[in-house]
C-alpha cells in the first residue's frame, strides 16, 4: 500500500478521511503542515490531500514545499472556498486536481485511483530513465582482448537461465556492468534490477534493507517497508561485495537462496519470491570459507556460475579502445569537443598498470578532458605520477614492446631500455648485458630520462 497524507486544520475531516481510506492506503493525518513536511522527508509519500487554507498557513505555499521535497508526490487540493483563480494557481504549482468541500467519497475514490496510477507511471518512468543512464555505461564490456571475449561469451550463455552467478574481480573491473548486462540481455529484462552494496550498508541495517520490515518491528519503524528482494520479484537482485556480509546475516541469506521466500523483520508470514541472484566480490571467497569468514554452503549456492573478470593490466590491447570510448562519452557530456589523444599520451597510458582498473582509467580521461586546452589529450594533461621511468611490468607471457609508426629511433631505444629494465625488476647489470651496452652508457641514459621527467 502507498502512503497517503491528509493535511487539514479540521480534526474531524482528518479522522473521517483516515477511517474511509485506511483499507487502501497507509494514511497519516496532520493538522499542522510543518509536522507533515518534516515527516515527508522520512517516508516515500505517493498521495497528499491538502486543504487550501490550514489555519494561518497558505495551502499553495505548502504545495510548493511538498513538490520541492518530493517532486513525484501527487497532491490533490481541497477547499470549501473554491474559485477559478485559486484552482489555476494550485495547478500551476503542481497540483494534480482540485476538489471542493464537502467531499463526495465516490468521486474521491475514483480520483485517488487515477492519482495513484499517475504516481506509479511517473515513478516507473523515472526508474527506467535512471536504469537507461546506468546502461549507457558499457565500459566494462568494451575490449577485443581474449579475456574480454571470454566474458562476453559467458554473458551470452547464462543470460536466460536462473542459476546464481558469482562475479569475481578487482575493484573497478566492471562487476556491476556485467551483472546489468546479464539481466538486460536476458528474459528478465522487463522486470527490476535491484543493486545492493553489502559493504556500504551497516550490518544492523542490511537485514532490513534486504528483507524489509513491518510497522513497529523496531523503534522508528512507523510504516512497513518492502525489502530489496521483494522489489526485485520477477527480476534480478545484485549483491555487490558479498564477501563483506556478516556471518549471522549469511545464514539468513542462505535460507532465502534455498527456499526462495523472505520474511520481513517483525513479520510472521513468508513471502514467495522469484528472483535471480547475482553476487560479486573482490575477495577470494574460497579463502574466506577456509578462514571461517564465509559460509561454505552459501558459497556453493552462489557460485553456480563463476565469472572471473580480468584486471585491465591483463587485457592486452583494450586500453586504446576504452580511452577512445571515454573521450567520446565524457567530452559529449561536458560539451567540450575533443578529437582524440596523442600517440605519446596513449603510450603513457598503455605503459601504466592501472591498479584501479577501468574506473581509474575513466577518472584519468575525465581529468585530462577537463584540464586540456588542446583538441587532443596530450601527455602533459595526464597526472604526473603516470610519467614514470618504469613502464608496465612485462611478464613472462607479455614480452612485446609497443612501437608505433613514426616513432624516432631515440624513442624506440628509450622504450627498449625501460621495458627491459622493468622486466628484469630493476637489475641494471642484467639489463646492460641483455641489451649489449655498457653499464655506464645505461646509467647515463637512465639519468637523462629522469631529468626529462623532472622537467615536465
Which segments of the chain belong to CATH 1.10.8.60? Answer: 310-387
d(CA 96, CA 29): 19
CA nearest neighbour of 36 among 16, 22, 55: 55
Do 240 and 210 touch, CB atoms closer than 8 A?
A: no
pLDDT at 343 over 90: no
> Could you tell me which CATH number the domain at 3-131 has?
3.40.50.2300
* The most confident of 22-36, 124-138, 400-414, by mean pLDDT: 22-36
Do 221 and 266 touch, CB atoms closer than 8 A?
A: yes
CATH topology of domain 392-456: Arc Repressor Mutant, subunit A (1.10.10)
> pLDDT per residue over 234-245, tens digit each?
999 999 999 999
> pLDDT per residue over 183-240, tens digit each?
998 999 889 999 999 999 988 889 999 998 887 777 777 777 889 999 999 999 999 9
pLDDT on residue 140 = 64
pLDDT on residue 168 = 95
Which segments of the chain belong to CATH 3.40.50.2300? Answer: 3-131
12-16, 86-90, 117-121: which range is least confident on average? Answer: 86-90
Helix pair angle (318-334, 357-371), 10° resolution: 50
d(CA 91, CA 84): 11
Spell out the residues 6+ positions from residue 36 whose beta carbon is closer than 8 angstroms to its own: 5, 7, 28, 30, 48, 62
pLDDT on residue 397 = 47
Section 94-109 average pLDDT: 87
121-125, 151-155, 310-314: which range is least confident on average? Answer: 121-125
Confidence class for position 275, pLDDT limits 50, 70, 90: very high
Half-sphere exposure of 353 (CA within 13 A, CB side): 13
Confidence class for position 87, pLDDT limits 50, 70, 90: low
CATH superfamily of 160-309: P-loop containing nucleotide triphosphate hydrolases (3.40.50.300)
pLDDT on residue 389 = 43
d(CA 291, CA 228): 29
Residue appearing with cell numbers 575477495: 283
Confidence class for position 396, pLDDT limits 50, 70, 90: very low
Section 157-171 average pLDDT: 94
d(CA 144, CA 371): 29
Section 65-72 average pLDDT: 91
Domain made up of 310-387: CATH architecture: Orthogonal Bundle (1.10)
Confidence class for position 336, pLDDT limits 50, 70, 90: very high
Amino acid at each position: 500500500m502507498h502512503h497517503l497524507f491528509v493535511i487539514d486544520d479540521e480534526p474531524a475531516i482528518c479522522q473521517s478521511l483516515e477511517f474511509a481510506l485506511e483499507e487502501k492506503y497507509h494514511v497519516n493525518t496532520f493538522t499542522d503542515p510543518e509536522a507533515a513536511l518534516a515527516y515527508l522527508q522520512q517516508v516515500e509519500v505517493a498521495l497528499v490531500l491538502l486543504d487550501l487554507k490550514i489555519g494561518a498557513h497558505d495551502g499553495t505555499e505548502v504545495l510548493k514545499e511538498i513538490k520541492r521535497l518530493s517532486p513525484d508526490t501527487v497532491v490533490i487540493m481541497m477547499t470549501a472556498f473554491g474559485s477559478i483563480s485559486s484552482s489555476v494557481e494550485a495547478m500551476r504549482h503542481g497540483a494534480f486536481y482540485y476538489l471542493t468541500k464537502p467531499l463526495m467519497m465516490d468521486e474521491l475514490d475514483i480520483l485517488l485511483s487515477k492519482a495513484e496510477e499517475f504516481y506509479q507511471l511517473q515513478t516507473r518512468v523515472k526508474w527506467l530513465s535512471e536504469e537507461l543512464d546506468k546502461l549507457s555505461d558499457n565500459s566494462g564490456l568494451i575490449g577485443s582482448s581474449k579475456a574480454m571475449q571470454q566474458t562476453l561469451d559467458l554473458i551470452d550463455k547464462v543470460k536466460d537461465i536462473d542459476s546464481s552467478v558469482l562475479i569475481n574481480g578487482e575493484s573497478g573491473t566492471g562487476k556491476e556492468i556485467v551483472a546489468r548486462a546479464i539481466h538486460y540481455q536476458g528474459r528478465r529484462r522487463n522486470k527490476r534490477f535491484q543493486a545492493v552494496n553489502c559493504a556500504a550498508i551497516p550490518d544492523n541495517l542490511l537485514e532490513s534493507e534486504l528483507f524489509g520490515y513491518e510497522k513497529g518491528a523496531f523503534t522508528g519503524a512507523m510504516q512497513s517497508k518492502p525489502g530489496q528482494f521483494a522489489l526485485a520479484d520477477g527480476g534480478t537482485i545484485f549483491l555487490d561485495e558479498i564477501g563483506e556480509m556478516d556471518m549471522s546475516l549469511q545464514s539468513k541469506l542462505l535460507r532465502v537462496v534455498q527456499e526462495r521466500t523472505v520474511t520481513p523483520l517483525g513479520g510472521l508470514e513468508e513471502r514467495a519470491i522469484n528472483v535471480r541472484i547475482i553476487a560479486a566480490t573482490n575477495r577470494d571467497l574460497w579463502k574466506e570459507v577456509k578462514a571461517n569468514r564465509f559460509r561454505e554452503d552459501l558459497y556453493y549456492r552462489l557460485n553456480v556460475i563463476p565469472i572471473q573478470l580480468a584486471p585491465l593490466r591483463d587485457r592486452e590491447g583494450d586500453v586504446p579502445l576504452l580511452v577512445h570510448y571515454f573521450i567520446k562519452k565524457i567530452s559529449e557530456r561536458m560539451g567540450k569537443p575533443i578529437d582524440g589523444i596523442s600517440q605519446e599520451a596513449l603510450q603513457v597510458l598503455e605503459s601504466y598498470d592501472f591498479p584501479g582498473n577501468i574506473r581509474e582509467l575513466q577518472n584519468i580521461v575525465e581529468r585530462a578532458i577537463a584540464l586540456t586546452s588542446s583538441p587532443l589529450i596530450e601527455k602533459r594533461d595526464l597526472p604526473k605520477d603516470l610519467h614514470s621511468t618504469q613502464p608496465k611490468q612485462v611478464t613472462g607471457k607479455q614480452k612485446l614492446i609497443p612501437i608505433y609508426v613514426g616513432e624516432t629511433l631515440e624513442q624506440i631505444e628509450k622504450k627498449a631500455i625501460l621495458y627491459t629494465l622493468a622486466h628484469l625488476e630493476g637489475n641494471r647489470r642484467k639489463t646492460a648485458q641483455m641489451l649489449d651496452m655498457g653499464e655506464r652508457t645505461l646509467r647515463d641514459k637512465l639519468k637523462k630520462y629522469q631529468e626529462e621527467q623532472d622537467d615536465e
